[in-house]
Amino acid sequence: MGADRDEPRWLNESEMAAWRSYRVASILLEGQLHRDLVEAHDIGLADYEVLVRLSECPGRQMRMSKLAIEVASSKSRVSHQITRMERAGLVIRSECGSDGRGVFAVLTDQGMNKLREAAPTHVKGVRQQIVDLLSPQEQQVIATVFSRLDAHLRRVNPE
């Protein structure tokens, strides 16, 4: 093994500009969408995402392990999040009848109402902060790029 193999491939100016632009803009975007939801509806972006995912499932429920994968989080973090959301009445846990080890997160009526209340605020923010700033072609490029990154990162970091 020579030193050449251990030497990092440093980013050139264009690569560094792309990385830094992505990094800062993604942090600012997520922060703004989170603030919009907290200020208007007293719910954070991460909790909103859980409500959305559960609302899209049959019976408004999903296995906790699958939910963690869906929201790109650890099982432990989702478990703590669901505990907090249970205290707020937004979700409940339910044992999986067919598998004694499985646990479902279930969206409550109160959680569904919170989602319905918050969804227009979230969609407005997504439109104002990203969608309406991009052409349809740019939107497609972003969708393609981030789908590829998502697939790659899930392969190298299966949870």
In a domain, 5, yes or no: no
Q: Angle between the 13-41 and 45-55 helix axes, to the nearest 10 degrees?
A: 80
In a domain, 47, yes or no: yes
In a domain, 37, yes or no: yes
In whole angstroms, give the CA distance from residue 44 to residue 86: 15
Supply the range of the domain harboring residue 74: 16-156
In a domain, 25, yes or no: yes
Please give the pLDDT value at position 5: 73
Structural domain total, the chain: 1
Residues 6+ away with beta carbon under 8 Å from 9: none
pLDDT of residue 97 exceeding 80, the answer is no
In whole angstroms, give the CA distance from residue 36 to residue 91: 22
In a domain, 126, yes or no: yes
In whole angstroms, give the CA distance from residue 126 to residue 5: 43
Query: How would residue 150 be classed by pLDDT, with cut points 50, 70 and 90?
Result: very high
In a domain, 67, yes or no: yes
Cβ 80 vs Cβ 55: under 8 Å: no
| Mean pLDDT confidence for 92-121 | 91
DSSP H/E element including 151: helix 136-156
Domain with 51 in it: what CATH number? 1.10.10.10
pLDDT of residue 1 exceeding 50, the answer is no
Residues 6+ away with beta carbon under 8 Å from 84: 47
